[in-house]
């Protein structure tokens, strides 16, 4: 077996299962899960219809690069959404469809890391666990940048030693952030691009929450958008990941894309032809329909907006919690140890959240997720409100 498999940590939800082993939840309270970021809003009916109408495409092998029509739809959407100069993000050279961002992130790291020399993958902390696992299995070493309330949950890149940048091959960004929902401003993204040029590393920006934001007039900026704003129309050293999972409530479709630097994507596509992970044709056709429609996305945002507006005031009775810049998570301070909070909340109220430390690593004695919990407002608004009220009851009953 690959010895690097032994470097992988248990996934956060495996830790959560172990934490709750042996508890007995109250049978008079229905379970409400705020722990897993799995969208629960209805998938668009027109997308499901496209799949139903094209099941005959199961008889055809899909190509790794995807159809021209899919890449054109993606290029059109990204150009509109991120205000790119016309014709700079080309379907032929700057886009590769992937089976969701997890698969795309993992495979990109395998294809670009050069393990014949010192290789560091720099990541925010807390972070999406695939950043770390992909680094380990590519023969690289992760380096974690703390994201605390003091820096608005955005890494302080100016404080990173030059010795870290020296061996950095990939820097992961996550904006809007998981779990904080913080959005990186253009100034920070420009700073990161300058660092990549100076130290010759790839910026890999995970933007899978970019379409969930509260103000219709202020969508989050993306990395390619910053490139366009500063005249970097070749997107050099810049790669972004997008997905239909959160945007369109289609986590089971496993559809997303990687876009950016054409030279990087040329090698990445070569890797994928051997990797064997082409998107099924009926999924590609469904994806075209989803990328070409914004009405369902606006409805999705409105549903999340209503939940945040209902839930946050309730939780503020007993917790320090803020509205996120974007995304569908809350990242409040727990009024007790985060593991104790999660376990006892399950045991006493049948409401399930994720301890913040499970999304982070302890570095120099500090874990940025400790004593915070992640709450995903993915359930119905009625369930989210009920969960918030149960949390208030729980905290009041367990005050020291």
Domain end residue (candidates: 293, 315, 344): 293
Query: Is 203:233 a contact under the CB 8 Å cutoff?
Result: no
Do residue 237 and residue 345 come from a single domain? Answer: no
Domain boundary among 293, 319, 342: 293
CA triple 93-99-104, angle to 5 deg: 65
Domain boundary among 235, 265, 293: 293
pLDDT per residue as tens digits for the range 289-311: 999 999 999 999 999 999 999 99
Are residues 261 and 140 part of one domain?
A: yes
State whether 191 and 301 are in the same domain.
no
Q: Which residues contact 396 (CB under 8 A, 6 or more apart)?
A: 318
State which residues form the domain around 83.
52-293
> pLDDT digit string (tens) for 105-133?
999 999 999 999 999 999 999 999 999 99
pLDDT of residue 94: 98
Backbone angles phi, psi at 144, to 5 degrees: -105, 135
* Concatenated DSSP letters of 225-268: HHHHHTT-TT-TTEEEEEEHHHHTT-GGG--EEEEE-HHHHHHH
The pLDDT of residue 276: 83
Same domain, residue pair 225 and 288: yes
Say whether both 26 and 132 belong to one domain: no
In this structure, are 232 and 350 located in the same domain? no
Decide if 171 contacts 202 (C-beta within 8 A): yes
The burial class, CB within 10 Å (0-12 / 13-18 / 19+), for 3 is: exposed
- Residue 37, CA atoms < 13 Å, CB-side half-sphere: 23
The domain that holds 303 is classified in CATH as 3.90.1150.10
Residues of the chain scoring pLDDT < 50: none
Instruction: Note whether 148 and 34 are same-domain residues.
Output: no
**Are the C-beta atoms of 42 and 48 separated by less than 8 Å?**
no
Q: Using alpha carbons only, how large is the chain's radius of gyration in Å?
A: 21
**Confidence at residue 400, expressed as pLDDT on a 0 to 100 scale:** 61
- Domain-embedded: residue 348: yes
Q: Are residues 15 and 127 in the same domain?
A: no
Q: Which helix (H) or strand (E) holds 351?
A: strand 351-352
- Domain assignment present for residue 241? The answer is yes
User: Does residue 377 form part of some domain?
Assistant: yes
Same domain, 153 and 302: no
* Within-domain flag for 47: no
> Based on the structure, what is the number of domains in the chain?
2
Is the residue at 269 inside a domain?
Answer: yes
Q: Nearest Cα to 280, choosing from 56, 44, 39?
A: 56
Residue 309 resides in a domain: yes
Q: Are residues 270 and 340 in the same domain?
A: no
* One domain for residues 142 and 231: yes
Residue 314 domain flag: yes
Q: How many residues does the chain have?
A: 400
Domain containing residue 72: CATH number: 3.40.640.10
Same domain for 117 and 248: yes
Tell me if 147 is assigned to some domain: yes
């Amino acid at each position: 077996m690959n010895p690097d498999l032994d470097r992988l940590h248990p996934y956060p939800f495996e830790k959560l299962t172990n934490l709750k082993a042996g508890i007995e939840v109250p049978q008079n309270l229905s379970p409400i899960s705020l722990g897993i970021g799995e969208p629960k809003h209805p998938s668009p009916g027109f997308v499901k219809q496209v799949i139903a109408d094209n099941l005959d495409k199961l008889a055809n092998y899909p190509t790794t690069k995807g159809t021209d029509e899919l890449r054109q739809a993606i290029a059109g959407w990204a150009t509109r959404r991120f205000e790119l100069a016309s014709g700079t993000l080309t379907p032929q050279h700057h886009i590769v469809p992937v089976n969701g961002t997890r698969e795309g992130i993992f495979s990109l790291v395998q294809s670009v890391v050069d393990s014949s020399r010192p290789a560091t993958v720099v990541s925010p902390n807390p972070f999406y666990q695939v950043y770390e696992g992909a680094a380990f299995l590519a023969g690289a070493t992760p380096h974690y940048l703390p994201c605390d309330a003091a820096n608005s949950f955005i890494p302080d890149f100016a404080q990173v030693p030059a010795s870290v940048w020296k061996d950095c091959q990939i820097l992961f960004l996550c904006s809007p952030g998981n779990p904080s929902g913080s959005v990186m401003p253009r100034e920070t993204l420009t700073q990161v691009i300058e660092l990549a040029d100076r130290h010759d590393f790839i910026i890999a920006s995970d933007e899978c929450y970019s379409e969930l934001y509260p103000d219709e007039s202020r969508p989050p900026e993306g990395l390619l958008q910053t490139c366009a704003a500063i005249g970097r129309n070749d997107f050099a050293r810049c790669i972004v990941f997008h997905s239909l999972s959160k945007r369109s409530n289609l986590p089971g479709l496993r559809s997303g894309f990687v876009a950016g630097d054409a030279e990087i994507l040329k090698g990445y596509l070569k890797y994928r032809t051997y990797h064997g992970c082409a998107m099924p044709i009926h999924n590609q056709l469904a994806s075209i329909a989803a990328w070409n429609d914004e009405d369902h996305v606006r409805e999705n945002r409105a549903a999340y907006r209503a939940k945040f507006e209902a839930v946050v005031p309730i939780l503020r009775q007993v917790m320090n919690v803020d509205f996120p810049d974007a995304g569908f998570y809350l990242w409040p301070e727990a009024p007790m140890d985060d593991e104790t909070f999660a376990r006892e909340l399950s045991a006493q109220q049948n409401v399930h959240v994720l301890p913040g430390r499970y999304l982070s690593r302890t570095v120099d004695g500090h874990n940025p997720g400790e004593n915070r919990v992640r709450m995903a407002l993915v359930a119905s608004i009625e369930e989210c409100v009920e969960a918030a009220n149960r949390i208030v009851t729980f905290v009041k009953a367990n005050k020291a």
